[in-house]
Copies of this chain bind each other. A is one copy, B any other.
C-alpha cells in the first residue's frame, strides 16, 4: 500500500519504518518540508532513506491509507492542512490521543465521555473512513507487539466502515498483533481514548511503557 504517516515525531517515525519494512511505500507528511529537513528529523531521515518526506497534502494525496500520528491537539489542524479532497475516500488510521498537558502530568483529555477525537475527525472529514486503533499502546508496541509476552495482549479497532476496519486489522496483524478486537462503530473510540488516564497511571507506576492490556475472556 501507499501509506502516508502524518506527524514527524517518534510515533510517526516508528510506524513509518515498520510499514516500510513490511514492503509498503511510506511517506511522512509534514507542514513544512524545508523546516523539517533542517531540524532534528534530518538525522533520523538520513538513516531511513526508505521513508519519504512530503507536505501533508502531497503525502495524503498520494496515499491509499493515511495514519494520523500527530499530537491530539494538532490533529484537526494537520488534517485540515492535508486537505479534505486529499483525504476523501481514504482510510484514516487515527492513532492519536487528545491529551491536554495544560495542567502538567498526567495530562487530562481535551475531549471525552460523550465525544472523542476520532469522532471529531470523522465529522470534519465525512468522506474519509476513520478507524481508531493503536492509541492504547506505546509506539514500539504498536508495531512490534511480539516483543511483549510474544504478543499475548489486545488491541482495539473502532470505525463505521467495515472494509476500512478489515484493512487496518490486516495491517495490525502484519505488525504481529494476535488479538485485534473490533469494538464496533467509531463512537466506541471513546472507550479506547478514555483508557489513556489508566495507561498514564500505569506508566507512572511500572516505570516502563512496554506494557499493554490483555482482555481475558
Contacts and interface: CB of A to CB of B under 8 A. Distances in A.
A148 B216 contact: yes
A215 interface: yes
B214 A202 contact: no
B210 A213 contact: no
Interface residues of A, number: 39
A211 interface: yes
Contact of A183 (B153, B190, B202, B211): B202
B214 A216 contact: yes
Interface string A85-118: 0000000000000000001000011001110000
A181 interface: yes
Contact of A114 (B108, B195, B212): B108
A197 interface: yes
Given A108-B114, A184-B201, A152 B217 contact: no
Contact of A194 (B184, B194, B210, B212): B194
Interface string A173-193: 000000001111000101110
A3 to B, nearest CB: 27
A213 B213 CA distance: 6
Interface string A195-206: 101111110111
A109 B200 CA distance: 19
